[in-house]
Amino acid sequence: MKSDLDMLFLGEYEHSLDTQCRVSLPSDWRGKDGDTELVLIPAPEKSLLLLPISTFAEFFNKLKSQAIVNPRVQKAFAYLGANSRRCRCDKQGRIALDRGMLERIGVTGALKLIGAVTFIRLCAPGNWMLPEGDDGIENCLAEIREAGDNVNDLAGLLGGILGKK
Q: Is 147 within the bounds of a domain?
A: no
Asked, for residue 134, whether it belongs to a domain, the answer is no
* Residues 6+ positions from 94 with CB-CB distance below 8 Å: 18, 22, 23, 24, 25
Residue 90 lies in a domain: yes
Q: What is the pLDDT of residue 150?
A: 60
pTM greater than 0.85: no
Please state the domain count of the chain: 1
Average pLDDT, integer, range 115-134: 83
Give the residue, 155 or 81, on which the prediction is more confident: 81
Residue 84: its pLDDT value, please? Answer: 94
Residue 120: the pLDDT is: 95
Across 79-97, average pLDDT: 92
Position with higher pLDDT, 78 vs 35? 78
Residue 74 maps to which CATH number?
A: 3.40.1550.20
DSSP state letters, 101-129: HHHHTT-SSEEEEEE-BSSEEEE-GGG--
Domain containing residue 47: 12-129
Q: Is residue 55 part of a domain?
A: yes
Q: Is residue 5 part of a domain?
A: no
Asked if residue 96 belongs to a domain, the reply is yes
H helix or E strand, kind and range, residue 48 = strand 47-52
Residue 46's pLDDT band, with cuts at 50, 70 and 90, is very high
157 belongs to a structural domain? no
